């Protein structure tokens, strides 16, 4: 527990509104084409059509057998698919793989919401008295972790983290701490969500935060967030272990910063996120001037974007005017508890390709968001170090700091 080791990322996988896999996400980033589209969700006689960022042309039978789908709700499917891609890129399991020394920490905000909604409809709309026994294992938040542990024989610490929109970042932070301090040598970390179902769309709509048009973070005339689905997973391991087996290192996960606003249950503040960013920098032994890019939480709501820009100014001082900050939610929507995983992969791709991901759907500057938000077009730029932000209702904040390895 007293060890203090450097933690690197050697594999990444992602499922998002831009498609399955990191190359689909990269194509969306570089071509600045959003996966957000008007989408209809229905249950029984109820339906709604809103802009959503859902996985396009997703055919589960390409990834799972019929039998496997019985217990895997879409959120778990996305985590498993992303984990497979990450493990494959990392070249794992290999001879160095020890199940007992490997951890899994995933995040989800809602777990198996499709099963939950179907069961509720069956009980309350159809008046059926019996419950499908698969409801409990499908809706369990930890199902994604269980299935991935079984797939690879991962027998170390295995937990799920649920902190709303910060779930993935909090999960990655816990995995980082485990590897850094010797609880595990390696970890699969990330998260997923698939809860753009009828009832949940109605719930978010009731908060008056869903955009009727699209997601345009930091832009003038932005009108709110767009719900999405998907997830992202990375492989973390010690620098020493990665070097010993000749793994390709995507970046160092150099530090994490977590904080709580202790303010309001839904309204964000600037001070909590600023504290999380400062902590991540300090933990990573990075100076503000080292950061070239921030993947923002950037939901597209008036309040989030304004407060996040204030937070960046508080944390970075004069350097805030020099760094780039964009929200890839404009490309893939807000996949809630899974979005931190997607955005970590987007950030790693930005570092790999030396390209700043754009904030698309941008109509023009908002005086409250007067930083370089990389409007509408990806931009080549050497990237040395980055932050990826996630902030949740309840005022819970988690920030990841990444450094490119020489």
Residues 36-65 contacting other proteins, CB under 8 A: 65
Q: Which of 71, 159, 183, 405 binds other proteins (CB under 8 A)?
A: 71
- Is there a catalytic annotation at residue 267? no
Q: Which of 40, 132, 287, 321 binds other proteins (CB under 8 A)?
A: 132
The residue (of 69 and 303) whose beta carbon lies closer to other proteins is: 69
- Is there a catalytic annotation at residue 165? yes
The residue (of 62 and 66) whose beta carbon lies closer to other proteins is: 66
Q: Tell me: does residue 96 bind other proteins (CB under 8 A).
A: no
Task: Report helix angle 302-316 to 271-283, nearest 10.
Answer: 40
The residues, any chain, with a CB within 8 Å of residue 168's CB and separated by 6 or more, are 106, 107, 190, 191, 192, 231, 232, 337, 338, 339, 340, 341, 342, 343, 344, 390
Cα distance between residue 54 and residue 50, in whole Å: 11
Stretch that binds other proteins, among 126-134, 154-162, 191-199, 267-275 (CB under 8 A): 126-134
Shortest Cβ distance from residue 133 to other proteins (Å)?
5
Q: Tell me: does residue 130 bind other proteins (CB under 8 A).
A: yes
Q: Tell me: does residue 133 bind other proteins (CB under 8 A).
A: yes
Stretch that binds other proteins, among 52-60, 66-74, 75-83, 259-267 (CB under 8 A): 66-74
The catalytic residue among 141, 170, 334, 369 is: 334
Strand runs labelled E in 29-177: 37-43, 46-52, 102-107, 158-161
Q: Which of 13, 21, 137, 341 binds other proteins (CB under 8 A)?
A: 137
Shortest Cβ distance from residue 70 to other proteins (Å)?
6
Shortest Cβ distance from residue 66 to other proteins (Å)?
4
Q: Tell me: does residue 66 bind other proteins (CB under 8 A).
A: yes
Q: Which of 45, 67, 95, 318 binds other proteins (CB under 8 A)?
A: 67
Shortest Cβ distance from residue 125 to other proteins (Å)?
16
Cα distance between residue 268 and residue 263, in whole Å: 8
Quick check: 77 and 63 in contact, CB under 8 A?
Answer: yes
The catalytic residue among 141, 170, 215, 297 is: 297
Q: Tell me: does residue 150 bind other proteins (CB under 8 A).
A: no
The residues, any chain, with a CB within 8 Å of residue 112's CB and separated by 6 or more, are 73, 74, 75, 76, 138, 139, 140, 143
Q: Which helix (H) or strand (E) holds 187?
A: strand 186-193
Stretch that binds other proteins, among 34-42, 72-80, 91-99, 128-136 (CB under 8 A): 128-136
Question: DSSP states of 216-275 as a string?
Answer: -TTBTT---B-BB-EEEEEEEEEHHHHHHTTPPP-EEEEEEEEEE--S-SSS--SHHHHH
Closest by CA to 346, choosing from 374, 310, 320, 318, is 374
The residues, any chain, with a CB within 8 Å of residue 176's CB and separated by 6 or more, are 7, 187, 189, 236, 253, 256, 400
- Is there a catalytic annotation at residue 141? no
The residue (of 129 and 364) whose beta carbon lies closer to other proteins is: 129
Q: Which of 134, 199, 354, 376 binds other proteins (CB under 8 A)?
A: 134
Q: Tell me: does residue 255 bind other proteins (CB under 8 A).
A: no
Shortest Cβ distance from residue 134 to other proteins (Å)?
6
Tell me how crowded residue 227 is: count the other CB atoms within 10 A of its CB: 28
Q: Tell me: does residue 127 bind other proteins (CB under 8 A).
A: no
Assigned token pair, 69: 């789908």
The catalytic residue among 165, 170, 332, 369 is: 165
The residue (of 118 and 229) whose beta carbon lies closer to other proteins is: 118
Assigned token pair, 241: 């272990």
The residues, any chain, with a CB within 8 Å of residue 67's CB and separated by 6 or more, are none
Shortest Cβ distance from residue 128 to other proteins (Å)?
7
In terms of DSSP bridges, do strands 186-193 and 251-260 run parallel, antiparallel, or are they unpaired? unpaired
Stretch that binds other proteins, among 13-21, 40-48, 127-135, 151-159 (CB under 8 A): 127-135
Shortest Cβ distance from residue 227 to other proteins (Å)?
30
**Total number of residues that touch other proteins (CB under 8 A):** 12
So which residues are the catalytic ones?
A: 165, 297, 334
Residue numbers at the binding site for other proteins (CB under 8 A): 65-67, 70-71, 128, 130-134, 137
């Amino acid at each position: 527990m007293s060890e203090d080791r450097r933690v690197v990322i050697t594999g990444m996988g992602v499922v998002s509104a831009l498609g399955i896999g990191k190359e689909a996400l990269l194509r969306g980033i570089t071509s600045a084409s959003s996966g957000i589209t008007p989408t209809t969700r229905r249950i029984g006689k109820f339906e709604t059509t809103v802009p959503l960022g859902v996985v396009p042309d997703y055919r589960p039978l390409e990834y799972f057998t019929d039998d496997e789908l019985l217990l895997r709700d879409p959120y778990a499917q996305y985590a498993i698919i992303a984990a497979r891609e990450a493990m494959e890129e990392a070249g794992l399991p290999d001879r160095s793989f020890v199940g007992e020394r490997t951890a899994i920490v995933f995040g989800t905000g809602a777990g198996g919401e499709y099963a939950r909604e179907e069961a509720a409809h069956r009980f309350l709309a159809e008046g059926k008295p019996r419950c499908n026994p698969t409801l409990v294992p499908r809706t369990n938040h930890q199902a994604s972790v269980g299935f991935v542990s079984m797939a690879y024989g991962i027998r170390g610490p295995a937990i799920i983290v649920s902190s709303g929109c910060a779930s993935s970042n909090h999960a990655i932070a816990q995995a980082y701490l485990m590897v850094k301090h010797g609880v595990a040598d390696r970890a699969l970390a990330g998260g997923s969500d698939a809860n753009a179902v009828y009832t949940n769309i109605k719930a978010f709509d009731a908060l008056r935060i869903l955009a009727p048009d699209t997601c345009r973070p930091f832009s003038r005339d932005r009108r709110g967030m767009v719900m999405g689905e998907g997830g992202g997973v990375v492989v973390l391991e010690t620098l020493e272990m990665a070097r010993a087996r000749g793994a390709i290192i995507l970046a160092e996960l150099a530090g994490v910063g977590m904080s709580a606003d202790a303010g309001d249950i839904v309204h964000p503040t600037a001070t909590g996120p600023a504290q999380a960013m400062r902590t991540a920098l300090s933990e990573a032994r990075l100076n503000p001037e080292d950061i070239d890019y921030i993947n923002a939480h950037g939901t597209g709501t008036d309040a989030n974007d304004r407060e996040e820009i204030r937070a960046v100014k508080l944390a970075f001082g004069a350097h805030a005017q020099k760094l780039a900050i964009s929200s890839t939610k404009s490309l893939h929507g807000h996949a809630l508890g899974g979005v931190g995983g997607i955005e970590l992969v987007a950030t790693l791709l930005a570092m790999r390709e030396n390209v700043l991901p754009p904030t698309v759907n941008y109509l023009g500057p908002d005086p409250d968001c007067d930083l370089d938000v990389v409007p509408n077009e990806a931009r080549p730029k050497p990237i040395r170090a980055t932050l990826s932000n996630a902030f949740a209702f309840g005022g819970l904040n988690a920030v990841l700091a990444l450094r490119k390895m020489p």
